Amino acid sequence: QVQLVESGGGLVQAGGSLRLSCVDSGRTFIIYGMGWFRRAPGKEREFVAAVSWSGTRTLYTDSVKGRFTISRDNAKKTVYLQMNSLKVEDTAVYYCAATSSAISSGPSGYDFWGQGTQVTVSS
């Protein structure tokens, strides 16, 4: 079973940085691909980034390329999302998710979800 808990959200000014963490308290973290999604107020859930179980393959949505970096530490059962040069439009609740299949940008491909952490970027 996978149990995901996100942390690291908060309030930051535009241009600032945050690092989100997602810890899996289950026993099989290493075999799951991991993704980050976000939902802004009044909008649909949006794919942000994903990393394969080995960490060798990553995916990013175009709007965050060059600013966000996804990584994982399997020994700590943790996936990270380093967010730099934050913009007001990055404001959202950020969710991590785990997939037993190949990583993708589609939320339906993910089996387990965390509760989310709020990121607010002020101008």
pLDDT of residue 115: 96
Q: How far apart are CA 112 and CA 123, in angstroms?
A: 33
Return the bridge partners of 92, or none: 119
pLDDT of residue 52: 96
29: pLDDT confidence band, cut at 50, 70 and 90?
low
11: pLDDT confidence band, cut at 50, 70 and 90?
very high
